[in-house]
Amino acid sequence: KHVTLGMITLHPGGIPHGPHPGLVEKSIGKTETKELAVMVDTFRPLKLTQYAIEIENDGYVMSWAE
C-alpha cells in the first residue's frame, strides 16, 4: 500500500514502523505474495542526495496513519 514499483523507503533507526493498517488482516489465509522486498542494514548512517530530497513523496509519511 502506497509503495509502488521502483520506490525506495527509508526507515531511520529508532523510528518504529510496521505493516500499514489493515494489511495484517488482509494477509490471513494467504500463502504467498507477488512482491520482492530487500532490506539494507548499514553500519554507518546513509546520507540523502539532493536528487533524493527533490523526488521525495511527501504523502508517504502520513500513509501510516490511515
Per the CB < 8 A criterion, the answer to whether 60 and 17 are in contact is no
The pLDDT, as a whole number, for residue 35 is: 82
Please state the length of the chain. Answer: 66
- Tell me the whole-structure pTM to 2 decimals: 0.53
Total domains in the chain come to: 1
In this structure, the dihedral spanned by the alpha carbons of residues 53, 54, 56 and 62, taken in order and rounded to 10 degrees, is 90
The pLDDT, as a whole number, for residue 1 is: 57
Q: pLDDT tens digits, the chain, 66 residues: what are they? A: 577 888 888 877 787 777 778 888 989 999 998 888 888 888 888 888 999 899 988 888 777 776
Cell numbers describing residue 14: 529508532
Domain membership of residue 22 as a residue range: 1-66
